[in-house]
Amino acid sequence: MGVLQREIEKGIEILQKGGVIAFPTDTVYGLGADAFNTRAVERVYEIKNRPRYQALPLLVADVDQLTTLAEPIPEIAWLLARRFWPGALTLVLSKKDSLPARLASGSTIAVRVPNHPVCLALIKGLGNPVTGTSANVSGQSAALTAEEVEQQLGGRIDLVIHGGKCPGGKESTIVDVTHEPPIMLRQGIIAWHDIDKAYREYLEAK
């Protein structure tokens, strides 16, 4: 077993116990906790010094997990998910009423399927969605390496998985699909014209 695999297994164990870890994704390093563990989610807010009104984006292992978090899921959301997942697109959807208020105090939830083996292994190993906010202090630059995470958050988190530099080098693109047409809230790796092209194809196919 390689060093990275051992770190992943240790990371899963920490997540299961309610700990907080940092890990590489296809965009930037993420700060992860079991999304269904209220105390762990609270720690993520404290570690980042993130305002409580800003909901935490969630990472899921596959499209099927989306139905545990969001309802209803509009057709355009399924189309964008099929087109860009796994990848650097975060979708904002109407959250399920059954979700804990601490996870998303408003009416929406932000979800993504990452395209990174370490990240996916953690989510699958835990069996629950994992918080996917960037592993930095709110307002500071996003971390692209484990060393940058340790400079900002060292000592505050339970583990940093050393998975090399994040290939994306930039945060995900966030698109709100609770409205039609979709609204871009943040342009990241995926350009708006790619989203718009997919939406136009969706309209033509209706």
Convert the pLDDT of each residue in 52-109 to its tens digit. 888 899 999 999 899 999 999 999 999 999 999 999 999 999 999 888 777 777 899 9
pLDDT at 6 over 70: yes
Angstrom distances, CA of residue 47 to CA of 50, 52, 123, 135, 165: 8, 12, 21, 9, 22
Take residue 199 and report the two structure tokens written for it. 């939406």
Q: In terms of Cα–Cα distance, which of 174, 177, 202 is closest to 88?
A: 174
Helix (H, G, I), strand (E, B) or coil at 166: coil
Instruction: Indicate the pLDDT class of residue 32, thresholds 50, 70 and 90.
Output: very high
The letter for the amino acid at 45 is Y
Instruction: Indicate the pLDDT class of residue 30, thresholds 50, 70 and 90.
Output: very high
What is the per-residue pLDDT for 166?
A: 94
Whether the full predicted model's pTM is greater than 0.85, yes or no, is yes
Burial of 13 (0-12, 13-18, 19+ CB in 10 A): middle
Domains of the chain: 3-205 (3.90.870.10)
Taking residues 178-203, report their average pLDDT.
Answer: 95
Task: Give the mean pLDDT of the chain.
Answer: 94
Phi, psi of 137 (to 5 degrees): -75, 135
108-112 sheet: strands from edge to edge: 130-131, 58-59, 108-112, 89-94, 173-176, 183-186
